[in-house]
Each structure stands twice: as structure tokens, then as C-alpha cells.
Structure 1
């Protein structure tokens, strides 16, 4: 989590950043303070990736505008019957379960397009009562999960929040029931273990199932989890999807008649391309159903309805909102959809103040009881739900607000920016001001919102918002410049310009602020989309004496590894290469980057991510041992390295498997080097005293035992007391 710094004003979230002149950069050996601060609050990379994923989901471009729609991963049907919320409590933390309506289940059973992918899913899941379905978004994972359970003869269906823990599922399973978890959050999914899943499966009766759906981006830390995982392949062809949806809506006979008509299929080909999502196919089916007459669908009416795009629908609703306050709330929700209501309402108030100029003739005070919260939420077509939201103290319950139609957020933002000239500057000022907000989720949404607007006005947004953020002395604002480029950097018509811009920022002649901003672009913003380019550019930027540039590189590498654990080996190899023999131009950056990875990538239960990966990957084990060798012997951060080793030791103290892996690792790091063995020994002895920063006597004893068996300069024999 980012710490406040000079140039930041978190206590004034609505203060606009001014243009900032170049300032001398801190030397890279002054970055130890950030290492120590981040060690106290790890998982910054995980929080950033989670916030960016949420922003991407909110601003995705393929949402479907269907009134009162019920969504199942790319599946849209009409009607209001969806999910009914219940609470289950057995004296521990309350678990929210959601009763899935029969209509949704019937749709999954009768309106789901069955293809080879589903047949393979059924075959793979036949011997399991607990299944994890993994696939990219839009493949129909949740609908497949419901159909799978319905075909098993199950009649009762309940769903859980994506943040539910596997232990909470274990204590709430019921007989003759399908237990569904749609889109389990990455942090929870990655923490799953084969043992915990086996325990849940053992509690299930013959006609009970637990089905979890996860993104294809998830990498499970425990390899044993894969015995429960089934990959859902590509969906059927668009025509088959259309046939299934329309059959469910109008029946097989009328569907066949409609699809045999040349004019219907001509319109289908015009509207649905190879890149269209299942959502768009479902919307087309819905339009056919709504325009159905005595002779079947009225094609011209369907064409006219299609032309009335989502933008027109949203514009009519937005204009109907009677007050500036309601419009500000709608705009704020468009940016912050899915965040706590109080956060959305507070930012809406700050926007309303920018939009409502004070009148010198106004003497009457507004009636503060004129509108209830319920009336305001209904007016902006939103809903409140109780959910657990992350905080520094752990997950806390909060009322979260969302639009009823998930297609609204990007449309509302673009509508206000494109159509209302007198408001456009106020909107950009508001987004700039949110750069100083104390909540990382709000700041990242502000950057993502800027990126959405940049799609249609790139030069203006770049000049007025993104470039000032990139030139800022504030680390927080430089990060936002990077995040704002994520959306335009993935647009074919802007990708070349964005990459050229970042190359300019990364040039040796550029200021340290721009170089630091460029380094952050190649983390969570665009690094995952362009991994080769990202590592190449970070390698060039690593020749730096600037603490800010070095830290920016370090945080970006942490985000890359957190998002894709498969990149850990490549990233570690690169960092070790930077450290070289301890005197190269990239050595300080290499040491700083490794220690950032070691402090930030720490899971609350599994411990250090790199340590966990090294237990099963010899490439990572060797690179990790080499990194510890270099940092413990380094000139700049050796003291910080010993302190971070103590953090790892404290985690290993209570976990035998973690301790075994750590002891093996440090024994390898010390092999062949008397100096390193002495450093590790002195460090381990400090863990034996309660007066030190770390008290880990079992870990210390095991490390010292391993070192004591080191013969001369040979690789150790790892037989030590745990």
C-alpha cells in the first residue's frame, strides 16, 4: 500500500494537482525507508492488480443493455427473478448465501448452448462432487455450472459471494443442494489447497455439488488443486448460441422458422461479427423476441431497436434526472461502480460542488430531507448490497452500490464528456482531484476513468491530465498516469501512440519523473499485455541512480509476478543478472527490486510467494538463493536484507513446510561462501533472542544446524532438526 509522500495531500482528496517543476531525485541508496514501510504493509501489488481488474470489469465495452436483465457470465435473459439474499450464521462469521431462482436454473438447463466444451466438462466432472471450472470471461462458466448440477437432478441451488472462504462453504453445505461460487476472487482462489477442497467434497451427499468458477488468469499455489479443475473450452458458434437463446424465449418451432428467414439472418450477420461476445448474441435474440409479431420478428423494428444504441437509452434516462445532485451521483457511480455507497456519495458531493455555481441571489436553504437515500438510488437505477470489502484491518462489511445494468458506467462517462461542453472541464477537474484521495480503489478508478475518456480525446486528456500526473513529484500521481494508459494502450487505434509515448518517457534524456512513470506503465498497466517489451524497457531503465525510478521498477516487477506466477522465474533471473558481481550499473536496482519482491509478495497464510514457488521449481530455487546471496553481501541494502530474512523466519516459525523450504534455500545461498555463511549465522542467531525484531527460535535452530553441516566450500547436505 502506498505511503503518503511529499506532493501528496490525502487529507484533501479534492485538491487539484498543479504542474510541478523538475526536482532532484533521491539517490537509490535512500530507498531503504520504503522497503521498511512496505514490509509493514505488504501485498501492495496484489491490491493494485485487484483494483485494476475491478476497473477493467466495470469499464468493459461489451455490456448489453437489456432492461431488468439477469446476467450469467455473458448470458442475458429477460425478467426480474434473479437471486434472493439470505444469511447463515453458526456463531462464527456470518456467511451470505444467495438462493438462485428457478427461472435462472431453467434457463441454464434449457437455454444454454451445448457444445463440445460442455460435453468435455460433463465427462471430466463425472467422478467429482466438487469441481472448479476455469475459463476466460464470457465462456458461460456459471451457466455451465448450473446446467451441470441441474442434469444431476438437483433442485435446490444456492450461490455464495466471490469472497467466500472454502472453510465457510464447508460449514454451510446442505444435502440435495448445488452450492455455486461465481468468479471466486483471485486472492481466495489462489489460496485454495487440495486438503481443504477434499474436506469439503467429503461432506457432500450423493446429490450435492460444489462448483466454483474462476478466471483463466488464476494460478493455484497448491498443485494438488488441479485434480479438481476442469477447463471450459470455447463456446459454440454464434448461430448455435442464438438458436439456444431464441428457443428458450419463443420455442423450437418458431425459432426454426425465424432462423430460416433470409432477412433475419442477413441482419444477424450485419450485427454479429466474429469478435462479438455471447452477450451481444443474447441481446440480438432478446431484440428479436421483443419485436415478435404474428408473422414472426419484425426485422425493420429489430433494426431500428438496434440502432437505438445503449448510448441513446442512457442519455434519455440521464436527462430525466431532475437535479444536478442526482446527475452527480450517477456520474460518481459510473466511475466507482461496486464500491461502498458512502465513498460514492462523498465523491458525488465533491462533483456536485464543481457543477453547481453558487448564486448571490439564493437565500433559501435546501431541504435536507427532500430526498431519501432509497429514492436517490432508485432514480439512478442502482442497488445496494452488503458485501465484505478489503481494508487495512482486513475485510469489513459495507453497503456496496452498483448500477442494475452493468453496461452503464462507460456509457455515462462518455456521454457527459462528449455531449456536455460546459461540464467537460468540471469532469476532468474532478478526476484530477481524485488523484489525492486516500483510498487506492478510488484513485485507480479515477485513472481508469481518464483512460476511458482518452479513447475519444487522447491528445486533450494526455495534455490536461495524464502528462501532469506523469511529471509529478508524487509517486501516487505518476502511478495514475500509468494506469490511465491501460485502456488506450489496448485500443488498436491508439496502441502505437501510447507505446511511443512511453518510450519517450523512458528515454535517457527524460526527467526522473517521466522515467519513473514509464517504469510503472510496464507493471500492472500494460506489462501483462506486453511482457517482452516490459522486461526489455525495465532492463534499460534499471541503469539508474534514482530511488524513485528504482522503486517504480521494483513495484512493477512485483505486479507482474503477482498477476502471473509463471513470470516469477523470468523476473528473478533478470533481477539476479542486474545484481551481477555486486558492482554493475544495475546492481542497486537489482537489490532493491528483489527485496521489494521479497517483502510485498507475502500471502497471509501461505507466506512468501517466491519461497512457496521455490519449493517445486528448481529454477526459481536457484535464482532465489542467488538473490539472497547478493543482497546479504550487498553494499546498499544488506541490513534491510537481514531484516526481511527475519520476516520470512517469523512466518516460517509456525509452518513446518515453509521452514523446511526456507532452511534449504539459505543453506544453498551460503554454500561455498564462508562470508555468506557467517552473515546467515549471525542473522539467524538474532532470531533466538526475544529482544530482537524477530523471535523465531525453531527457524534459527534449523538454519544454524544446516550451516553447521556445511563441509568447506561444498553444497550442504540438508539433514537438520526442524
Structure 2
């Protein structure tokens, strides 16, 4: 297998509504014509290597088999876009200031859960210090926790303070309220107005004098002085919350039965916010009452996810900074990928978003930012160590993935269709990623475009896929191939129609892309794919020189012969082998290329020979078809030398693997169908040398004996 070469680069700027154009960055002294010529001469990645990268690095929802199996994207899109019901909004009643009703405190206390939380410790801290600052991710129950802390400390009634109150005016607001308990939710701090120790000391003195208590809630990274002590609040486990609410709503026996439902078990596999648990309990009550069926419970979880993603991108900069929104988008593209890489490339997207928002503003990214734990909690994701496959073998990486595997697609759909002003930045960013030197990055960029194509095919084609397909840069053209293949994998419409149209096109670049996609998707319909390739091969045929796309057609035949449908492909190839010289050439060339690949788990067992061995055991037509193609290759002057070279590789492999030796010993006599063919094979077996001119392999004598005995 070959390794992709160094990355080219694309221009990061794109006008709104227009696709990014490939940039020329070869050097200031070269003319555009010279640079374009050099780019055209750069060899594109081989089709087999593209398939390898897709297989290794595509997201789990688009693992590649060459078939459209209607996976996550279709399920999510179908569920989320149905009628929406919103049984929750903010974490509690919205009020500017005033006393919290006593019945609200009592109601919250009935279902409040302290298990697996530092609640008891925080109560003691509140009683001692009078002022408590709770930090945490939005919608994790900070407000409810604050009210329950005050209630447990005996600080009732509770006065809610306007969230627009600044740290400097907080004491003044408390002095106005006569209640012993005070709560300020989502205190807004800034570099200019941080929460200082002096603020807390003055608050402590006043509250101690008047026997009062105050709880302040804020985000994960409030602007505070170093001496200000904060306490992190995280929600109890989803299962604990759900059980508590269910037992209160329907009683313990029914709650136990509901917890055993398949949809409920699925719900519990994902970490949910308290408000989402409350909404799900409402649905479960409707299920118990016979108002809805069990499948509606699954639709509800999709609605909850949709609502969360929408809130992320509707939030203002104080609530969620654009840099963190860029990280969310990057995590959607690189879900379950290395965290450091995701963070690195999210900053690249942040720069593009900055340029879109204000083109005159210099691009700048803070060198140090949010802690990984805080950032992933906000994204509702988790870090975990795992091996990542690279060009240099597997390496240990710290990866990050959304807790809900559906999040990535929903998020990309929301950004692409709900926030069109972000498209120029997103298109420019993807244009850079698709020419990155790392196969993982390129594959995920293509998979992201595939998800966008599922959501809005015309826009994805116009802004991304077609510009890549028509680019001078071969990496972008390969990116268009991967994007179309992965778009089909997740259920995007009309991809096969586009592929057939482009394959037959007179535009060489479009046809190049279409031909490559036929190889990746053709296993789904081998007869149609091979027919399209044959038509283009006839158009390309010139008896005096190879056609410009002949090599690409052969590579697609190669992939089809190595696909899961190799038996059907082989049958179709043999059926039309002698129809036309152009068809013969692409069939034999593709076959010989396929013969050069070894099984990944057994590196000395050729894949085609493995197919032949299995066909012999099963008695399938491939047991006769593979020898026929070998005879055609050995007997044709245009392919004899290449065929003997491939066969030499098989002989060397048989010296290292018994299974290969057995299969080859069975195959060789079937290739010697006439005197000339027998003499060629005998000569090869007598003269073959080991790698790098080493001694003749011992297996050659065994194979020669098998040939003579036949």
C-alpha cells in the first residue's frame, strides 16, 4: 500500500455563497501556469488507499462496506424533524428578582437527589461561610441545588436576585431583600468586573450579622480572583434521577417496570441533564396512560438532543464563546478521534469564523484556553484512552467522543441548515482539512461533507463537492470521491445517479471522480457499475496510446474484484471479457492489480488467491474464473511481463506461508493450458530469486513438482 504524500493547501478565504477555490502556494516566484502544471503532475492517491483510509477512519455511523444501509443519519433526520414537543425550557421559572414561592421549594424537595453529589459537604460549608459559589455546566441542576442548599440550611424564604446584578452591586441587592436566604443564578463576570475576595468578605459580614445565607451559581470559568473559592456541581447520575422522579410520579412497582423497557434502557446509556430526565418522565407517564406507544419514547430522546444542539448555537458569547462552538463542530467531525487533534483543528475553524464575522479583524487564537475536562463537560462528551491506527501503525491516544452517538450528525445539520452564515467558514475549513497530510483528517473531512450532503445535497454539491471534483489539486478530487461515497453510506439521496452521470461525462475531472466512486460503491450493484466503466473505457480507447482515464477505470475494477461481491463481479467481468479490446484491457489490468494485495491478517496470503482457495473448497464459479483471467493475462503480450512479475510475488509469498503454497500449487497447473504458458511458468519457477537477489525460494521446487504432476 502507498502512503499519501505531503499535504497541499487551499485558500482559507471564501466569499459568502461561493465555494472555496484551490490556492497556489508553491512559491512566490512561480507563475500560475507553472504551479498548475506541477499540481496536475502530482499523482493522486491510489483507489485502494482511499478505500483503506475510509475503512480505518470513517466515523462509526459510516463504517464502509460499499452499501447503503440506512444508518444513523437517516434515523436521526427522520425522528428529529417530526413534530416537536417541548416540555421543558429553562432550569426553573424565569424571574428578574423576588421571593421564590414556598410551594416551589417543597415541590423541588420531593424529587431532589443528593446521591453521588457533594450536597452534604456543601450544606456544612454554606452554614459556616454564609456565601457559596457553585460552578458548573448549564442545565446540570445548579439552581435547584442552590435552592435546596438554602432550604436545608434553614435559610427560607429565599430571595432571588436579578442575574444582571454585577459583583460590585451584589451587597446592595442583598440589603434590599429582607429574606434570610438569597440566590443569584448565572452571575455574569468579566475581566473588567470579576468576582473578588473583597466582595465575598463584605457579603459574609452582612449575612453573618443578619443571619442570612447566599448561594451564587455561575459557569465553569467565571472571572474570579485567585483567593475566591468555588465549588463544582455536577448532576446526579441519570438512572438515579430517573428512578426518583418515576417513583414519585407513578409509584415504585410501575417505575421498576418502566425502567426495564428497551427504550428506557437505551435512554439510560446516555448522560442526560435533569431537565431532560423530567421531560422523559412526562413521556413515560403518557405511555403508562396509553396516550403513546413505546417507539414514541425514542422520538422524544431525539427531540431532546435536537433542543440541546440548538441551544448551543443560539447561545450568546457570554454563555458559550465562539471558540467553544468551533470546538463543538470539530468534535462532530472528529467524534471518537484524538482530542488534541480535534482541539487543534477547532482553532483553525475558529479563525475562519472570526474572518467571516469581521474580515478586517486579525485572526487570533488564545494559546491557552479551557481545561479539557470543562470543555468536554460542556460538549457532553467524554475523554478515553484508545489506540488510533496511523500510517506508522497503532499508537495510544487520548480520544474524545460525544456521550450520545447521534450528536455529531444532529450538530452538523444544525450548523449547515440553521446557521447559513457559518457556511463560508465551514467550507474554507473543510477545504483545508481535505488536503491535510493526515489520512484521518482527510477522511473525516470527507465524512463531514457526506453528512452535509445528506442534510442539503444541492448546497453541499455546489459549495464543496463540485469545486473539489473540478480542482487541479488531486487531493481535493480524491476528497470529492470519498465525500460522495460516504454521503451514499449515510443515506444521502441521488448519489448513484450523480456517480453514473459523472462517470459518463465528457469532462475528464468529473468522469475521474465518477469512475473512482464506482469502485467504492459498485459492490452494491456490480453489473451496473461495470457497465458504466465499460462504456467509458470504450470512449477512452485508442489503439496507439492509453486513454487518459484508463488507469482509473482499471483501479475501480480492482476494487470491485476485491469487494464482498467478488463472485458476482468476477462473473460479470468474464461475461464481457472479450467484447472489446478496451474492456479486455481494463479487466485484466484491474485483475492484476487486485492480485497484488495481501490479506491484512495474513500478509503473505494474496487476497485473490484466498478467494480462489475458498472457491475450490466451496465449488463456486470463481474456482474456474480466476484461472481464466490469469491465462488471459499471461497470454496477452501487453500483460505478460506484469503478470509474471505478480506471479513471482505469489511464489515468494508461498515460501513464507503454507496456505499460500497449497493454493498456488493447486492453481498453477490450471494456468499452463498450452506449451507456451507451461514453458513461461516453468522458466519463472527455475529462475525466480528471493527478495533483493536472495537465494531461490525452496517453495519453487515444490511448485515445479506440482506443475509436472498435473
TM exceeding 0.5: yes
Query: 1:451 aligns to what?
Result: 450
Q: Is the 8 A contact 1:437 1:443 kept in 2?
A: yes
Q: Is the 8 A contact 2:322 2:350 kept in 1?
A: yes
Question: What are the superposed Cα offsets for residues 103-140 of structure 1, whole Å, 9 maximum, x if unpaired?
Answer: xxxxxxxxxxxxxxxxxxxxxxxxxxxxxxxxxxxxxx
Aligned partners of 2:419 and 2:443: how far apart in 1?
24
Compute the displacement of 1:560 (Å): 4.1
Report matched runs for 1:259-658 at 5 Å. 289=281, 308-320=303-315, 322-357=320-355, 368-486=367-485, 489=488, 495=493, 497-507=494-504, 510-524=506-520, 526-543=521-538, 544-545=540-541, 549-564=549-564, 567-577=565-575, 579-580=577-578, 584-605=581-602, 607-618=605-616, 619-658=621-660
SS of residue matched to 1:406: coil
Q: Is the 8 A contact 2:689 2:697 kept in 1?
A: yes
Aligned partners of 1:580 and 1:295: how far apart in 2?
65
Compute the displacement of 1:594 (Å): 0.7
Aligned partners of 1:463 and 1:350: how far apart in 2?
23
CA distance 1:365–1:312, change in 2 (3 Å): closer
CA distance 1:584–1:463, change in 2 (3 Å): same
Aligned partners of 2:33 and 2:290: how far apart in 1?
64
Compute the displacement of 1:349 (Å): 2.2
Compute the displacement of 1:651 (Å): 2.0
Query: 2:143 aligns to what?
Result: none
Aligned partners of 2:49 and 2:379: how far apart in 1?
35
Compute the displacement of 1:251 (Å): 8.6
Aligned partners of 1:641 and 1:324: how far apart in 2?
58
Compute the displacement of 1:689 (Å): 5.3
Compute the displacement of 1:408 (Å): 0.9
| 5+ long unaligned stretches in structure 1 | 66-78, 82-245, 260-267, 710-715, 718-722
Compute the displacement of 1:538 (Å): 2.6
Compute the displacement of 1:664 (Å): 1.9
Aligned partners of 1:303 and 1:625: how far apart in 2?
53
SS of residue matched to 1:383: strand
Query: 1:62 aligns to what?
Result: 75
Query: 1:115 aligns to what?
Result: none
Report matched runs for 1:135-154 at 5 Å. none
RMSD: 4.9
Compute the displacement of 1:10 (Å): 0.9
Compute the displacement of 1:662 (Å): 0.9
Q: Is the 8 A contact 1:45 1:562 kept in 2?
A: no
Query: 1:48 aligns to what?
Result: 54
CA distance 1:574–1:438, change in 2 (3 Å): farther
Compute the displacement of 1:559 (Å): 4.0
Question: What are the superposed Cα offsets for residues 621-643 of structure 1, whole Å, 9 maximum, x if unpaired?
Answer: 32222222222333334333222
Report matched runs for 1:94-109 at 5 Å. none
Question: What are the superposed Cα offsets for residues 420-470 of structure 1, whole Å, 9 maximum, x if unpaired?
Answer: 232111111212222212222322222222122223432222122212222
Deviates more, 1:651-660 or 1:359-368: 359-368
**How many residue pairs align between the two structures?**
497
Aligned partners of 2:250 and 2:593: how far apart in 1?
58
Query: 2:132 aligns to what?
Result: none
Q: Is the 8 A contact 1:42 1:601 kept in 2?
A: no
Question: What are the superposed Cα offsets for residues 191-226 of structure 1, whole Å, 9 maximum, x if unpaired?
Answer: xxxxxxxxxxxxxxxxxxxxxxxxxxxxxxxxxxxx
Compute the displacement of 1:332 (Å): 0.8
Query: 1:106 aligns to what?
Result: none
Output the TM-score relative to the length of structure 1. 0.58
SS of residue matched to 1:310: helix
SS of residue matched to 1:390: strand
Q: Is the 8 A contact 1:14 1:434 kept in 2?
A: no
SS of residue matched to 2:437: coil
Question: What are the superposed Cα offsets for residues 296-342 of structure 1, whole Å, 9 maximum, x if unpaired?
Answer: 66969989967955222212134456322221111111011122223
CA distance 1:292–1:666, change in 2 (3 Å): closer
SS of residue matched to 1:18: coil
Deviates more, 1:332-341 or 1:276-285: 276-285
Q: Is the 8 A contact 2:351 2:363 kept in 1?
A: no
Compute the displacement of 1:585 (Å): 2.0
Aligned partners of 2:366 and 2:593: how far apart in 1?
53
SS of residue matched to 1:602: coil
CA distance 1:489–1:395, change in 2 (3 Å): closer
Aligned partners of 1:586 and 1:513: how far apart in 2?
21
CA distance 1:396–1:256, change in 2 (3 Å): closer
Aligned partners of 2:654 and 2:115: how far apart in 1?
51
Compute the displacement of 1:669 (Å): 0.7
Question: What are the superposed Cα offsets for residues 143-200 of structure 1, whole Å, 9 maximum, x if unpaired?
Answer: xxxxxxxxxxxxxxxxxxxxxxxxxxxxxxxxxxxxxxxxxxxxxxxxxxxxxxxxxx
Aligned partners of 1:705 and 1:656: how far apart in 2?
16
Q: Whose radius of gyration is greater, 1 or 2?
A: 2
Aligned partners of 2:311 and 2:327: how far apart in 1?
16
Query: 2:228 aligns to what?
Result: none
Compute the displacement of 1:653 (Å): 1.0
Q: Is the 8 A contact 2:11 2:22 kept in 1?
A: no
SS of residue matched to 1:616: helix
SS of residue matched to 2:337: coil
SS of residue matched to 2:75: coil
Aligned partners of 1:558 and 1:686: how far apart in 2?
29
